[in-house]
């Protein structure tokens, strides 16, 4: 059987940017566009040229893509021709192969928001689509508030779609703009639209997650016959976000009734980049990836329950709906209060540490983990610190050096130009191979900017590590997360540090203390010791 | 028309605890159980008595509830009677009015995981359910891997359900244990199960979110006739989590085809506590609430797009699927690069600041916000700092005091008992009403524990604020979040502090600096100034 083509349309750079706290720069938009193109997305909506300087600059600087680059805008306004609408001209001038224009299809919005007649709105749709087609562009029509409009005035909503269709639109995209329509209703209405004469292979679906059903709504539309799906990476977008393409793509490619009847532009080989693509967006946004994200989350194939973990060790498909490798993710048996000895042994094995089944040290390690988690440590997210803890208990952790004491000073005062400046200074006393060494560093970088006390401490700590210096030189701190783990006056600070070395290896360590500098110091120390261990340093 | 009763079953305390990083204490379990009971959940599954000390202790200490308290366990093992199964006895001994036992219904799991015959498994189900009924308990049977089992061996999966039904189970709960079944399939299979003779009002549904469809799958089952929905608060749970009751409840109560045909145990008045309930769980877990959460997220009714925001100001239902007040949430017009002057005016109005439409200071404020966001500030999550910024520009921010300089020292060394201890000390020099005041504080609390440099700084800062002291006394820091907003050597730290006062008022402030102590200091200062402003302090 020939598979029908299903097109994927990404609007991370436009609707995704409507997320609270999200504002992409031009270089970030370029990086995201390249990543989308790399995995095989069909359409990349870049933004609204003319609406703001960033979007205009981006369209001038946009990368060459195999994907169809799309500019977003709105249908022409009433009382002028498409040619004479300056907003529309701004969109067309971006010279993209495709243009997507949003227009009203809900009679109530036409009257109240636009204040024009229903016929004027139809003419705006018709003329705008015809204008795009005349200019040689692939024309897309975003039918705003379509589902609410259809429920309020079925005839008019359909007439709007027909106007776009007859004027030559390649796609009529049915938008659930307010996000309140449930999947059953979406499927039903898409079926009715197709029955009313708009072909399914010209229908797109654009859902929002206001009821937590954007993915299911999109699937319902595809099942009903729609052949374009709009969404965003990680479900970014206005309010609760858009349909999450990262969740939709594997379902459409791996599960029935989709996998055997539909073909996307993404190969199964590229599907293995999905987890990386999702994390890349979080990197750019400096967000901690959602652990529980379907398919790509760090917890998506994490088996915490003792019973599940032991079954998984026998046969992965007992508690996994797909093989995590298909989407570039990995299985994880985490450490936690709930984990039994079989979890622990599996985890240690993954680190190259073999322990016999009845080794009493297993119970002791579990006990220490439990004690430390009670104090605020979290080892699920700090595997390197967990490894150090286990190795210490197993007698497999050499003592590379000893920290005798440290002192950090942070000062803020006016400089001679009467400007407030701050400076930090750290003194660390370390004993390496029987020799005591004092180091002092300040927090100024090469540009004379203060980088703070943790930086000063880290610099002082790495200054005189003598025989280990070359192993630590390529380490850098890439993320630093702080949480108060108990509220009120008993507040305890948990610091998790992600480090990276020159080879691109990443590891996470944890420190806990009511004192944030102290917690950071502990995590920094663990990060260094783990690196020494991994690189096979020989104790001095 | 009489509405049919739909029962809500919460498993936050059992399946929810399988989330990575989640481990409830007994007092936390008690607090959550009370909150669930308060809103009107029908069943509270408290855990597995006998499986671990916390769960056993919790069942002894469990609160009195209107909701049906339920203990979880598994069906008896083969080769012994229900009476003689010690694991089952542990569950029964918790003396809850209801007991929910999980059992296998997938033939493959019976053979491979349990290694018993299909008939033995049926007998285990039958005998276990009969045992619960004989002991006077409401009996629930969790049909593990039901949907996968049904697809593999329809006859056997149904036989398992019939065994439980005939033995007197009040509920047969169909579990999509691996989370891979899509909503369409769930709806279809539930219809077939009902057609096969298990009444819909004895069928429950238990979904997982591995494809991002747990909510939709639950809705599909209810539409097909199931009358119990299992889920967790905020979708906590193993791997990608369980069906999120916080998303399901408002959909079931406010939207068709559910609202007019089904009745839950939650009143519309109690529904207004939903946002609070969701945040309470995050508080207990010390998690930052998910901004984009359906219905209850801080962004769920946040209108960032300029066009949306101006339409919302005219008529909220243009871009809102429900009135946020129905679920206890509120509308927000955030500040951001994308916001236009109309957003800004609306936001200022919400703070009691009226600015004329064409006031040139509006453009200036937007410019400052943009500049600062480029530096790493984030005002969406720090409304109090935003207000200070706007008021400063509008000439509405009195100068309460001036910080001349500060110095913080963190020291860690061995004490006289040869134990490593740390101590921080802060000196702050402040000018209040023309008078210069030096204050020094150390970080020790009343128990002699070091609370770190930010604590010392905060104490020194509040020590000599003379005329303002009484206004600041009831302030406390309730959360403290740190993010590196730029990677590598140019790392900049953003600190967001949530403060609370004696009246339960909460506000958030932001500080940015490469120096974490400095960033914290800035956020602390903003928090204090906002409190002085809010309480109408008169500049000294």
CB contact under 8 A, B20 and A408: no
**CA gap B87, A67 in Å, rounded:** 58
Q: Which of A350-364, B45-59, B164-178, B367-381 has the lowest mean pLDDT?
A: B367-381
Reply yes or no on whether the pLDDT at B516 is more than 90: no
Of the pLDDT bands very low, low, confident and very high (cuts 50, 70, 90), residue A138 is very high
CA-closest candidate to residue B396, choices B510, B533, B532, B525: B533
pLDDT of residue B337: 42
Measure CB to CB from residue A411 to each of B407, B412, B489 and give the nearest one.
Answer: B407
Nearest to A517 among B52, B293, B410 (CB): B410
Instruction: Report the pLDDT averaged over residues A507-517.
Output: 89
Contact B300 A493 (CB under 8 A): no
> B409–A409: do the CB atoms touch at under 8 Å?
yes
Tell me the average pLDDT across A237-257: 97
Q: At A331, list the tokens.
A: 């299985």
Q: How far is B529 from chain A (nearest CA, A)?
A: 19
- A256-277 average pLDDT score: 97
Q: Between vectors from CA A268 to CA A264 and to CA A270, what angle results, nearest 5°?
A: 90
Q: Which CATH number fits domain A4-266: 1.10.10.10, 3.40.50.300, 3.20.20.70, 3.40.50.11900?
A: 3.20.20.70
The candidate with the shortest Cα–Cα distance to B311, out of B340, B350, B352, B353, is: B340
Q: At residue B419, what are phi and psi to the nearest 5 degrees?
A: -110, 140
A428 to chain B, minimum CA–CA distance in Å?
A: 10
List residues bridging with B142 in a β-sheet: B102, B173
pLDDT above 50 for A488:
no
For B154-172, how does the pLDDT look when each residue is reduced to its tens digit (9 = 90+)? Answer: 999 999 999 999 999 999 9
User: Is residue A186 within 8 Å of A147, Cβ to Cβ?
Assistant: yes
pLDDT tens digits, one per residue of B365-415: 988 887 787 777 888 778 899 999 999 999 999 999 999 999 999 999 888
Which of A286, A488, A518 is opposite residue B476, by nearest beta carbon? A488
Give the pLDDT band of residue A286 (cuts 50, 70, 90).
low
Give chain B's largest Cα–Cα span.
89
How far are the Cα atoms of A151, B229, B273, B508 from residue B296, in angstroms, in the given order? 26, 20, 10, 19
The owner of tokens 């040139």 is B360
Is residue A419's pLDDT more than 70?
yes
* A259: pLDDT strictly greater than 80: yes
CB contact under 8 Å between A407 and B408, yes or no, is no
Q: Across residues A30-52, what is the average pLDDT?
A: 95
Residue B13: closest CA among B34, A490, B5, B4: B34
Residue A503, min C-alpha distance to chain B (Å): 15
Yes or no, beta carbons of B293 and A491 under 8 Å apart: no
Closest CA–CA distance from residue B21 to any residue of chain A (Å): 6
| pLDDT band per the 50, 70, 90 thresholds, residue A296 | very high
Residues of B in contact with A327 (CB under 8 A): none
Helices (H), A464-512: 469-472
Confidence of residue B357 (pLDDT cuts 50, 70, 90): confident
Cross-chain Cβ contact B484/A489 below 8 Å: no
Nearest C-alpha of chain A: how many angstroms from B516? 6
**Residue A79 above 60 pLDDT?**
yes
Residue burial A441-472, b: 16+ Cβ < 10 Å; e: rest: bbbbeeeeebbbbbbbbbbbbbbbbeebeebb
Out of B18, B244, B518, closest to residue A422 by CB: B518
A361 touches A393 (CB < 8 A): yes
The alpha carbon of B270 is separated from its chain's Cα centroid by a whole number of angstroms, namely 17
Strands B68-74 and B98-104: parallel
Which among B295, B318, B484 has CB closest to A480?
A: B484
Name residue A413's beta-bridge partners: A421
Structural tokens at position B230: 């299992």
- Between CA B512 and CA B376 the distance in angstroms is 7
Q: Do A300 and B178 touch (CB under 8 A)?
A: no
Higher pLDDT, B383 or A289: B383
pLDDT exceeds cutoff 60 at B46: yes
Tracing tokens 């039903």 back to the chain, one arrives at A188
For residue A34, what pLDDT band results from cuts at 50, 70 and 90?
very high
Question: How far off is chain B from A164, nearest CA to CA, in Å?
Answer: 23
Tell me the pLDDT tens digit for each residue of B424-471. 999 999 998 888 889 999 988 777 788 888 888 888 888 878 888 888
Contacts of A407 in chain B (CB under 8 A): 409-413
- In this prediction, residue B286 carries a pLDDT of 67
B326: closest CA among B357, B351, B304, B296?
B296
B364 prior amide bond cis, ω within 30: no
pLDDT at res. A202: 98
Sign of CA dihedral A353, A356, A361, A366: positive
How would residue B240 be classed by pLDDT, with cut points 50, 70 and 90? very high
Contacts A–B by Cβ distance under 8 A = 350
Tens of pLDDT, residues A160-179: 999 999 999 999 999 999 99
Residue in A240, A293, A326, A377 to test binding to B, most B beta-carbons within 10 Å: A240
Q: List the single range of A200-204, A473-477, B215-219 with lowest mean pLDDT.
A: A473-477
Residue B100's H or E segment, with its range, is: strand B98-104
A257 upstream amide cis, omega within 30 of 0: yes
B23, B109, B299 member nearest A336 (Cβ): B23
Alpha-carbon span B159 to B165, nearest angstrom: 10
Cβ <8 Å between B515 and A410? yes
Q: A291: which chain B residues are within 8 Å (Cβ-Cβ)?
A: 20-21
Q: Which pLDDT does position A283 carry in this prediction? A: 77
Cβ within 8 Å, pair B413-A422: no
Q: Do A513 and B177 touch (CB under 8 A)?
A: no
Q: For residue B443, give the nearest of A336, A406, A515 by CB distance.
A: A515
Query: What pLDDT is recorded for position B334?
Result: 61
Whole-prediction pTM: 0.78
Q: Give percent above pLDDT 70 in chain B.
A: 96
Q: Residue B446, class by beta-carbon neighbours within 10 Å (0-12 exposed, 13-18 middle, 19+ buried)?
A: exposed
Of A294, A380, A479, the CB nearest to B210: A294
Q: Six-digit token pair at A288?
A: 């901690």
Which chain A residues contact residue B19 at CB under 8 A?
292, 299, 304
Q: Does A337 score more than 50 pLDDT?
A: no
Would the CB atoms of A112 and B487 count as touching at under 8 Å?
A: no
- Quick check: B211 and A518 CB within 8 A? no
What distances in angstroms separate CA B470 from CA A268, A312, B436, B499, B540, one per listed residue?
Answer: 65, 59, 19, 16, 14
Q: What is the mean pLDDT of chain A?
A: 90
- Average pLDDT for chain B: 90
pLDDT at B1 over 70: no
Q: Per-residue pLDDT for B485 more than 80?
A: no
Q: Among B391, B403, B385, B431, which residue's Cα sits nearest to residue B540?
A: B431
Model confidence at A517: pLDDT above 80 = yes
Tokens of A41: 């997305």
pLDDT of A31 > 90? The answer is yes
User: At B490, phi and psi to the nearest 5?
Assistant: -90, 15
Q: What is the pLDDT of residues A519-540, one digit of tens each?
A: 999 999 999 999 999 998 888 7
Q: pLDDT value at position A315?
A: 78
- Other C-beta atoms lying within 10 Å of the C-beta of residue B371: 10
User: What does the pLDDT average to over B7-30?
Assistant: 91
* CA A304/CA B264 separation, integer angstroms: 32
Task: Enumerate the domain spans of chain B.
Answer: 4-266, 306-393, 402-464
Rounded average pLDDT over A459-487: 79
A413 to chain B: closest CA residue: B405
Range ranked top by mean pLDDT from A40-54, A272-286, B150-164, B522-536: B150-164
B186-201 pLDDT, tens digit each: 999 999 999 999 999 9
Instruction: Return the minimum-mean-pLDDT range out of A434-443, B332-341, B487-496.
Output: B332-341
Band (pLDDT 50/70/90 cuts) for residue A339 is: low
When CB atoms are compared, the residue of A21, A314, A409 closest to B378 is: A21
Please name every residue paired with A230 in a beta bridge, in sequence order, or none if there are none: A9, A206
> What's the angle, vertex CA A519, arms to CA A514 and CA A522, rounded to 5?
145
Instruction: Report the gap between the CA of A481 and the closest CA in chain B (Å).
Output: 6
Which of chain A's residues have a Cβ under 8 Å away from the Cβ of B311?
A: 113
Cα–Cα nearest to A422, from A444, A446, A390 = A444
Chain A residues near residue B339 by CB distance under 8 angstroms: none
What is residue A476's three-state secondary structure?
Answer: strand
pLDDT at position A489, please?
45
Q: Across the interface, do A240 and B17 touch by the CB < 8 Å criterion?
A: no
Q: Above 80 in pLDDT, residue B60? A: yes
- For A223, the closest of B184, B211, B422 (CB atoms) is B184
Contact: A247, B182; criterion CB under 8 Å: no
Mean pLDDT throughout B266-293?
A: 89
**Do A411 and B410 count as a contact with CB atoms less than 8 A apart?**
no
Once rounded to an integer, what is the mean pLDDT over residues B59-79?
96
Q: What is the DSSP letter of A286?
A: T
């Amino acid at each position: 059987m020939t598979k029908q083509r299903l097109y994927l349309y990404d609007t991370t750079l436009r609707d995704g940017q409507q997320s609270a706290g999200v504002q992409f720069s031009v270089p970030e938009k370029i990086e995201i566009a390249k990543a989308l193109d790399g995995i095989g997305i069909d359409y990349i909506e870049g933004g609204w040229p003319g609406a703001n300087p960033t979007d205009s600059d981006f369209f001038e600087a946009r990368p060459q893509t195999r994907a169809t680059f799309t500019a977003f805008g709105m249908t022409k306004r009433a009382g002028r021709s498409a040619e004479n609408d300056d907003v529309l001209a701004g969109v067309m001038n971006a010279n993209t192969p495709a243009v997507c224009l949003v227009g009203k299809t809900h009679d109530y919005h036409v009257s109240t928001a636009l204040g024009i007649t229903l016929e004027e709105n139809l003419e705006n749709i018709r003329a705008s689509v015809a204008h795009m087609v005349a200019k040689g562009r692939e024309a897309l029509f975003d039918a705003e508030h379509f589902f609410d409009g259809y429920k309020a005035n079925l005839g008019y909503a359909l007439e709007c779609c027909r106007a776009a269709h007859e004027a030559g639109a390649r796609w009529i995209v049915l938008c659930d703009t307010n996000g309140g329509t449930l999947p059953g209703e979406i499927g039903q209405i898409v079926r009715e639209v197709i029955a009313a004469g708009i072909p399914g292979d010209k229908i797109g679906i654009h859902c929002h997650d206001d009821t937590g059903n954007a993915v299911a709504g999109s699937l319902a539309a595809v099942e009903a016959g729609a052949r374009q799906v709009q969404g965003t990476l990680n479900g970014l977008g206005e309010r609760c976000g858009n349909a999450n393409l990262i969740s939709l793509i594997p379902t459409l490619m791996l599960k029935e009734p989709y996998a055997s009847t539909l073909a996307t532009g993404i190969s199964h080989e590229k599907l293995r980049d999905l987890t990386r693509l999702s994390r890349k967006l979080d990197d750019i946004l400096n967000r901690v990836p959602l652990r529980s994200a379907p398919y790509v989350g760090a917890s998506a194939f994490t088996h915490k329950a003792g019973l599940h973990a032991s079954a998984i060790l026998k046969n992965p498909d007992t508690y996994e709906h797909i093989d995590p490798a298909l989407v570039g993710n990995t299985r994880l048996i985490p450490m936690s209060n709930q984990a039994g000895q079989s979890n622990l042994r599996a985890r240690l094995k993954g680190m190259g540490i073999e322990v016999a089944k009845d080794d009493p040290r297993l119970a002791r390690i579990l006990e220490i983990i439990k004690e430390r988690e009670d104090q605020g440590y979290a080892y699920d997210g700090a595997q390197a610190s967990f490894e150090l803890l286990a190795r210490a208990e197993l007698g497999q952790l050499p003592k590379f050096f000893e920290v005798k004491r440290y002192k950090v000073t942070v000062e803020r005062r006016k400089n001679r130009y009467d400007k407030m400046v701050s400076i930090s200074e750290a003194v660390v006393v370390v004993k390496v191979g029987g020799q005591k060494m004092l180091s002092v560093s300040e927090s100024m970088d090469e540009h004379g900017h203060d980088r703070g006390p943790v930086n000063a401490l880290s610099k002082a700590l790495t200054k005189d590590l003598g025989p280990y210096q070359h192993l630590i030189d390529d380490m850098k701190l890439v993320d630093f997360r702080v949480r108060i783990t108990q509220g009120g006056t008993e507040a305890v600070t948990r610091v998790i540090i992600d480090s990276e070395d020159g080879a691109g290896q990443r590891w996470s360590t944890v420190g806990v203390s009511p004192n944030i500098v102290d917690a950071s110091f502990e995590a920094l120390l663990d990060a260094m010791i783990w690196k020494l261990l991994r690189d096979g340093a020989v104790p001095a």
